[in-house]
Amino acid sequence: MPVQTVMERPIEDRDLGYPVYDADGHLYETMDTFRRHLPKKFHKDFQYVTVNGRTKLAIKGHISEWIPNPTFEVVAAPGSHEKWFRADNPDGLSIREMTGDPLRFQPEFAEPVSRLKLLDEQNVHGQLIFPTLASVIEGHMGKDVELMAACVHSLNAWVADEWTFNYKDRIFPCGYISLADADAAEKELDFCLKNGARHILVRPAPVPGALHTRSPGLPEFDRFWAKVAESGIFVVLHCSDSGYDEIYQWWNGGGGQVAFDRADPLKACMDGLTRAIQDMLMALICHGVMDRHPNIRWVSAENGSTFVRSLTHILKRAYGQMPQAFARDPLEHFHEKVYVAPFYEENVNELAKLMSPDRLLFGSDWPHAEGVAKPLDYIGDVQDFSPADQQKFMSSNLKGLLEGKR
């Protein structure tokens, strides 16, 4: 199969009349990302190995297929899966057939100078940046809390080296935090804040631990959340490997270990993203984090928005059944403190009936294949919004969060 060596750079001649802020950009990690600052005693537990001529990631001696190409030497081109997600596939092509020729690794994927030049071409002013391979950390390291903490810090230290956490007030990589060890999480948060982080990424999933998993809403994490609240940064609950793939495996005889595998229609129907973010938000609300730390703002990124209707119904019912269990109406917390970045293929007009446009964010998912090649194309999906609400969605809501507005 031919490989594209030069990325297509579609011309963007639209100017929305205000600075566009993108809540969901990504980097592709290099083979140096997790190992540059990783203590040597852990090198054997996180290494790249060759299997049948292909490079694979080995975690604690186990070959991970979660992301089959962990070097990202070639990737699907940005936006190449858009028709799939818009359910525009009348010829019944497989997602591989729709992808087209793969693309060689590009400098825009791993460093800020080239990325900023691209943002200028795309007429995007600011962008949050999230890792890609990092989903293997908490989901695939079992109960080795020490290894998790070491890999998280190595990632953050590499970001500080290569990107910084605030590049020219336009590119804002996240600080990745694992709560597996509450003390280590505080220490990592201190590192990220010291280096200028404006937001942190916390996996929407039960917190892993040496003995068992637990809710991030439990009091053992209150010192961490208090420090987040005091700092004025916001928390992004970005989709990850939240462990919900195990539900699919119950029905599939243990298969389904590849991230974003879409070969089985059952897996497409069993939406682990929606279940994970819904459970995460319910845990934060029901276990009182939003009562005890009301200054924190939460962003759901790359989880879509179909969960909002279900979450609204569940919280309303729970409050009606046991109001004494809540310090206030849980829906008030959700509407006041939670921001949602919907997928472009969803009905954003229906979402706006459930949530204020003041709490909606635009996210391109660039350069991932399931995102959009031209970020401003998203304006077409909110064409029925008023001009003022379009600007909130594409710009001012995220701009305000970055500025610490509440």
Question: Residue 262's pLDDT band (boundaries 50, 70, 90)?
Answer: low
- 82-104, pLDDT tens digit by residue? 988 898 888 888 888 888 899 99
Strands 199-202 and 234-238: parallel
- 338-357, pLDDT tens digit by residue? 999 999 999 999 999 999 99
Helices (H), 44-144: 82-85, 95-99, 112-122, 136-140
Q: How far apart are CA 34 and CA 36, in angstroms?
A: 6
pLDDT average, residue stretch 361-367 = 98
C-beta of residue 148 within 8 angstroms of C-beta of residue 134: no
Tell me the percentage of the chain whose pLDDT exceeds 90.
Answer: 80
Residue 166 has pLDDT above 60, yes or no: yes
Class of domain 21-39+110-402 (CATH, top level): alpha beta
- 272-319, pLDDT tens digit by residue? 678 999 999 999 999 999 999 999 999 999 999 999 999 999 999 999
- 26-84, pLDDT tens digit by residue? 999 999 999 999 999 999 999 999 998 899 999 998 888 778 889 999 999 999 999 88
Strands 62-64 and 298-301: unpaired
Instruction: Calculate the average pLDDT of the chain.
Output: 93
pLDDT average, residue stretch 313-336 = 97
Question: Residue 237's pLDDT band (boundaries 50, 70, 90)?
Answer: very high
Tell me which of 261-270, 283-292, 296-305, 368-377 is least confident.
Answer: 261-270
- 188-219, pLDDT tens digit by residue? 999 999 999 999 999 999 999 888 899 999 99
Residue 115 has pLDDT above 90, yes or no: yes
Predicted local confidence at residue 63, as pLDDT: 87
Predicted local confidence at residue 109, as pLDDT: 98
The model carries a pTM of 0.94
Measured CA distances, 241 to 135, 203, 271, 309 (Å): 6, 8, 12, 23
- 100-110, pLDDT tens digit by residue? 899 999 999 99
Predicted local confidence at residue 136, as pLDDT: 79
Q: Where are the domains of the chain?
A: 21-39+110-402
Predicted local confidence at residue 10, as pLDDT: 92
Question: Residue 257's pLDDT band (boundaries 50, 70, 90)?
Answer: low
Q: How far apart are CA 70 and CA 62, in angstroms?
A: 14
